[in-house]
Amino acid sequence: MPTHDVVIVGSGLAGMRAALEVCQGASVAIVSKVHPVRSHSGAAQGGIAAALGNMPPERTAKIQARIENGAVLPDEELNEDSILLHWFDICKGGDYLVDQDAAQMTAENAPTLIYQYERWGAAFSRLPNGKIAQRPFGGHQAPRACYAADRTGHALLHCLWEQVMKRSDQVTVYSEWIVLDLIIRDNICRGLVVWDLNTGRLETVHTKAVIFATGGYGRAFSITTNAFANTGDGIAIAYRNGVPLMDMEFVQFHPTGLYRLGILLSEGARGEGAYLINGEGERFMHRYAPTLLEKGPRDIVARAEMMEIMEGRGGGPKKDYIYLDLRHLPAELVRTRLPQISDLVTKFVGIDWSKELIPIQPAAHYSMGGIPTTLQGEVILDAQETLVKGLYAAGECSCVSVHGANRLGVNSLLEATVTGWAAGRAALAHSQQAELAPLPADATASAEAEVKGILENEGTESVADLRKTLQEAMTEKCGVFRDADHLKQCLETVKDLQHRFHNVHIRDKGQVFNTALQEAIELGHMLDFAETIVEGALARQESRGAHARLEYFDLKTAAGVRDDENWLKHTLAYRDGDGVRLDYKPVRIFKFKPIARKY
Ligand SMILES: Cc1cc2nc3c(=O)[nH]c(=O)nc-3n(C[C@H](O)[C@H](O)[C@H](O)COP(=O)(O)OP(=O)(O)OC[C@H]3O[C@@H](n4cnc5c(N)ncnc54)[C@H](O)[C@@H]3O)c2cc1C
């Protein structure tokens, strides 16, 4: 049985960044269900945010900082960026559901952590003066996205992997090991139950601290930008072990997924000047974000696209998509700053971006919600912040909450980096003073029953069918716009699928690389947490950030009705028998007073 001081689950930016902290003083292992450099962080395109204030020469015009409602800001015009402005943009972008200390920590630590990537050799794109280049991104008031062309995640993930390999005597990596369960007794996390995909063996990993860095769950939706591995395993495992899930109703839909495929075309394209065009050939964003236009935040742009479609101005025979227009961009700019986009549209839809419009639609992209934590990544159980000793979460699976109701682009690679770094430091400190807590005799019982239950089931339901039904229901009934009727139907579907899942059958009964079993386990996870998304959305009777309820939304003015009096609070969803119990937790607001959110 492997024993380590700290075990990190996940090897994306959050997991590896955490490992680099822990290995400075404790034995650490990373467990990952895919090889580390195949983690979804590697798919990130547009950039990572930090207020470095590196202004591209073509944008020397002074930036008039707009901090509304008396928030503190230097009076003078800024001709560069500031941490305060970044902090403010996060809070406004998140429709004020952001815990403002979390946003502060994120904005403040961004420059140092970005320069650390640079020192480690991350291949950032550069300005002519040699500084890290920065481009505009939705909802950010200054060009703040540091990027490596449109392959930023790839550059950063490989950079961290090199650093981990350099310390391979201190960091053990268990690749293609899948975590099935947490071992928590008396509120103390003692280890993990892990399934070795290569041999089919169940292993117990004994440890003083676990950091979950298991990423997002876009795969619960049919149109998604997410990798196949993004099935929200960590979120579901925490939930099954009594941890509540926070703000799950806030799911981000990215405005520019390739039509029907969901493959992401980075917001970097709009950052570099691409347009959005409706079926009538009109640029329409002036109706929805008159100042920022295509550079508005994602929730607003995704809704704008849906409204154009709902009002019959979509493109194509069914009028059900929108176009991204790159035709006016210089070929050299696309070649150097957006090469992947150009590749993707050629290979997947056979389109020449310089001559044709690219069909796109909103696609499930990012989960604002997740496992609730303190600023140090410690997992909490309730509004009083009772801790589960030795359990931490970081990156997309966690909810600190830095993004509130809507994440701004390029803030997530940053979140993964900052929260990974913070959780790594906290887990290291904990492991240096804590003892290894003994493992209970029944540590593996529940995981064994789960695996056996699927392998021996001779039922009639197929994983693929159940998954497809779930994904379609989530996209169609719990998507960009929601309403009570559709959410209730969606909940019924999820409940029905949970029931049918007890009757699921897989043909492969083998031990070695049983991916059918893996898919069944992942589906079980998705069915569990999907219920918290729908229940949270049904309960929240307002529109805020990415959660737009048609009953609380004026389609004529494209404005949502936000109800600060009753709903300026975080949702906590607990597993309760066969259902979900909801509780709420206050938002930490001390700097920027919530005001109407306009762009
Ligand atoms: C296409 C795309 C483009 C994006 N572009 C940007 C961008 O430009 N800028 C930005 O800021 N954000 C971007 N994002 C969001 C951002 O990439 C993610 O939020 C972030 O990378 C998440 O990092 P992470 O470390 O939390 O998780 P991930 O990188 O997703 O890693 C999750 C890890 O958990 C492991 N894991 C999961 N379940 C288990 C299990 N049961 N057992 C063992 N291991 C497990 C996986 O193997 C993996 O290593 C993008 C997202 C997508 C999908």
Is the CB of 524 within 6 Å of ligand 1?
no
Half-sphere exposure of 173 (CA within 13 A, CB side): 24
Is the CB of 47 within 6 Å of ligand 1?
yes
Residue 56 has a pLDDT of 57
Written as one string, the DSSP assignment of 183-233 is EEETTEEEEEEEEETTT--EEEEEEEEEEE-----GGGSSSBSS-TT-S-H
Distance CA 34, CA 522 (A): 14
Residue 274 has a pLDDT of 96
Of 283, 350, 354, nearest to 322 (Cα)?
Answer: 283
Give the closest residue (by CA) to ligand 1 atom 4. 44
Of 230, 50, 32, nearest to 143 (Cα)?
Answer: 50
For 464-511, write each residue's pLDDT tens digit: 999 999 999 999 999 999 999 999 999 999 999 999 999 999 999 999
Phi/psi-derived region of residue 175, left when phi > 0, alpha when psi is between -120 and 50, beta in every other case: beta
Pairing outcome for strands 398-399 and 371-372: parallel
Q: Ligand 1 pocket: which of 159, 214, 337, 373 to mutate (most atoms <8 Å of CB)? A: 214
**Residue showing tokens 């493992």:** 439
Average pLDDT estimate for 131-154: 93
Is the CB of 278 within 6 Å of ligand 1?
no
Distance CA 467, CA 360 (A): 24
For 282-326, write each residue's pLDDT tens digit: 999 999 999 899 999 999 999 999 999 999 999 999 999 999 999
Residue 55 has a pLDDT of 67
Give the closest residue (by CA) to ligand 1 atom 9. 410
Q: Give the distance (Å) from ligand 1 centre to CA of residue 12.
A: 6
Pairing outcome for strands 171-175 and 28-32: parallel
Is 506 strand, coil or helix? Answer: coil
- Determine contact, residues 266/324, Cβ cutoff 8 Å: no
Distance CA 427, CA 93 (A): 30
Number of the ligand 1 atom closest to the C-alpha atom of 267: 8
Is 580 strand, coil or helix? Answer: strand
Neighbours of 485 (CB within 10 A): 11
Distance CA 291, CA 314 (A): 23
Distance CA 322, CA 480 (A): 15
Give the percent of the chain with pLDDT over 90.
Answer: 91
pLDDT-derived band at 587, boundaries 50, 70, 90: very high
For 162-210, write each residue's pLDDT tens digit: 999 999 999 999 999 999 999 999 999 999 999 999 999 999 999 999 9
Is the CB of 262 within 6 Å of ligand 1?
no
Q: DSSP letter at 283?
A: B
Average pLDDT estimate for 398-422: 97
Is the CB of 40 within 6 Å of ligand 1?
yes
